[in-house]
Amino acid sequence: MPGAVQLALAALGWLLGVWAICYVGLQLFAILLGFRSRFAHPIEAGVAWLTASLVVAFALLSWRPNIPPDTRRDPVISAAAGGLLVWALASNTLPVFRPFNHFGTGEFVWFVGQNIVEMFLLAVVWASLTRRPLLAFGLGAGFQVLVTGISALLLAL
């Protein structure tokens, strides 16, 4: 069983890897497809993601999850649903973000697909911390609230 430092470093590495895939790789691919880049302010998005990832890593240094080996429950879907719910609500209600009705059809499908990929990649981290679906949902939603909140604050400055 990994210690707290190994768990925190593994989570931080995974979160930064998800950021690289979703906010660098997929963004470049979207531009190649002719879609407008999702973020007009990639520095703010990167700062928000890094800050939230460091919060998670430091939290894991002090909180040691006890994960029972119950394989009948898979909280990945719950964690992804929590993140997707916050993302959809924030995208359509916070004025610093572009609401869904301002996208063309192809760009909207890409945007939703990209966020589904992102939330399921993130859900792997949250599902590795608990087997309880409600807690996984809260972890997925909580991380998204943290990233979205920091991004909105930076974009509003």
Distance CA 125, CA 10 (A): 9
The domain of 112 spans 4-156
Are the CB atoms for 23 and 52 separated by under 8 Å? Answer: no
pTM: 0.81
| Sign (positive or negative) of CA dihedral 10, 61, 149, 124 | positive
pLDDT above 80: residue 3:
no
Mean of pLDDT over the chain: 85
Nearest to 76 by CA among 111, 17, 48, 116: 116
Which position has the higher pLDDT, 31 or 113?
113
pLDDT above 80: residue 85:
yes
Give the pLDDT confidence of 40-52 residue by residue, as tens digits: 556 777 788 788 8
pLDDT above 90: residue 84:
yes
Total domains in the chain come to: 1
Are the CB atoms for 46 and 20 separated by under 8 Å? Answer: no
Backbone φ, ψ for residue 139 (5° rounding): -65, -45
